[in-house]
């Protein structure tokens, strides 16, 4: 078992450079400009290196399908613009969301540096990749980042609300990142469902199952088979009412406030300049005091250590850069087959 996949079959190790080259070739063949293909490939490989298989190289299969179907526009580039009511927003113009989210976080941080706090909505955009990567980059520059997405209920009914047995909500991701201690930023990156939607695609691709308590079938019965989800099932809310509460707030911010999404979901990026409240060295020292106490907590049965959010991903990245990315053999075979078909 790896991450949230159960019984996926044999796995293999793929060098990061090889994976990047294969993914970039698929994206270029699908119509992405060279710089977009390289950035998206780098991002997906980094997610796989961090152990986030749901947002890793497996996603290139979904992206290529969405380019082919017209769900995303491969050559689109994000733009900044003013709204009719005097606000400011970024439009992804129907393109893939990874370059767009990078720009949204960069712009929010730049404005927060001069204003103290800033918000940047992001609309008309496809999948944005692993939010933690963007938020961590901002946190390293001294910013608190809060990112959430929502508004895709019509096209992406994935999660049942607490007490319900039918998919009504998207997975409504949240990501929070703050400057941390000596080991780097603290990063919380999670879906409001028990699993992110990407894990369902990863399980299907690998011929694997999901853990118990993650999904239900169309009749509301617990299941671990991803095909039951795709046949009308639903993801369970994370933490019961807590997941539903966070999801509803995402919908209020990203649909009720920003309007109906036109590609996947809308996003809201908030950035706060922490240096206006505490000197960076003082904040790091205080953060390390908090985090060291957490790490020193004796682990409960079944655990080897108490982990700080964000540190596990960085440790996995360092190890995988040496050992290679661990992938289900079946998933890597599908990626290679897709590349061969596009270049045949």
> Would residue 153 count as lying in a domain?
yes
Note whether 106 and 145 are same-domain residues: yes
CATH code for the domain of 338 = 1.10.1530.10
> Would residue 309 count as lying in a domain?
no
The boundaries of the domain holding residue 249 are 76-193+238-296
Note whether 213 and 329 are same-domain residues: no
Note whether 221 and 289 are same-domain residues: no
Note whether 187 and 45 are same-domain residues: no
Note whether 176 and 214 are same-domain residues: no
CATH code for the domain of 108 = 3.30.1370.60
> Would residue 303 count as lying in a domain?
no
For residue 155, what pLDDT is reported?
82
Burial 123-148 (b: 16+ CB within 10 A, else e): bbbbbbbbbbbbbbbbbebbbbbbbb
- Between CA 210 and CA 15 the distance in angstroms is 26
Give the pLDDT means over successive 10-residue stretches in the chain (344 positions). Answer: 68 97 98 98 98 94 96 96 93 97 98 98 97 98 98 88 95 97 97 90 89 95 96 96 97 96 94 97 98 97 95 95 94 96 85
For residue 1, what pLDDT is reported?
37
Note whether 37 and 116 are same-domain residues: no
Q: How many domains does the chain fold into?
A: 3
Note whether 71 and 40 are same-domain residues: yes
> Would residue 30 count as lying in a domain?
yes
> Would residue 63 count as lying in a domain?
yes
Partners of 148 in beta bridges: 174, 268
Note whether 103 and 126 are same-domain residues: yes
Note whether 96 and 232 are same-domain residues: no
User: Who contacts 110 (Cβ-Cβ below 8 Å, separation ≥6)?
Assistant: 118
Note whether 48 and 11 are same-domain residues: yes
> Would residue 211 count as lying in a domain?
yes
The single residue listed with the structure tokens 């590609």 is 263
For residue 247, what pLDDT is reported?
97
Note whether 203 and 332 are same-domain residues: no
> Would residue 213 count as lying in a domain?
yes
**CB of 92 within 8 A of CB of 78?**
yes
Note whether 178 and 202 are same-domain residues: no
> Would residue 35 count as lying in a domain?
yes
């Amino acid at each position: 078992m790896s991450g949230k996949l159960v019984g996926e079959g044999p796995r293999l190790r793929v060098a990061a450079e090889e994976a990047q080259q294969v993914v970039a070739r698929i994206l270029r063949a699908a119509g992405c400009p060279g710089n977009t293909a390289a950035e998206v490939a780098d991002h997906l490989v980094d997610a796989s290196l961090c152990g986030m298989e749901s947002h890793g190289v497996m996603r290139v299969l979904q992206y290529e399908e969405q380019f082919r179907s017209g769900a995303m526009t491969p050559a689109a580039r994000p733009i900044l613009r003013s709204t009719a009511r005097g606000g400011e927003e970024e439009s992804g113009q129907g393109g893939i969301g990874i370059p767009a989210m990078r720009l949204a976080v960069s712009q929010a941080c730049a404005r927060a540096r001069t204003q103290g706090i800033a918000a940047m909505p992001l609309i008309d955009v496809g999948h944005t990749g692993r939010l933690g990567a963007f938020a961590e980059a901002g946190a390293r520059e001294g910013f608190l980042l809060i990112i959430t997405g929502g508004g895709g209920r019509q096209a992406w009914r994935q999660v049942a609300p607490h007490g319900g047995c039918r998919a009504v909500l998207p997975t409504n991701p949240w990501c929070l990142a703050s400057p941390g201690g000596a080991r780097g930023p603290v990063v919380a990156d999670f879906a409001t469902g028990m699993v992110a939607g990407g894990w369902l695609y990863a399980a299907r691709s690998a011929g694997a199952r999901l853990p118990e308590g993650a999904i239900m079938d169309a009749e509301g019965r617990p299941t671990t088979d991803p095909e039951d989800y795709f046949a009308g099932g639903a993801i369970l809310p994370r933490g019961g009412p807590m997941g539903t509460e966070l999801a509803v707030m995402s919908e209020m911010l990203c649909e009720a406030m920003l309007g109906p999404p036109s590609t996947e979901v809308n996003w809201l990026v908030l950035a706060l300049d922490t240096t206006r409240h505490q000197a960076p060295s003082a904040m790091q020292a205080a953060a390390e005091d908090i985090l060291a106490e957490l790490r020193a907590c004796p682990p409960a049965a079944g655990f080897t250590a108490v982990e700080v959010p964000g540190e596990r991903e960085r440790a996995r990245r360092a190890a995988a850069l040496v050992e290679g990315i661990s992938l289900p053999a079946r998933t890597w075979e599908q990626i290679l087959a897709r590349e061969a078909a596009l270049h045949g």
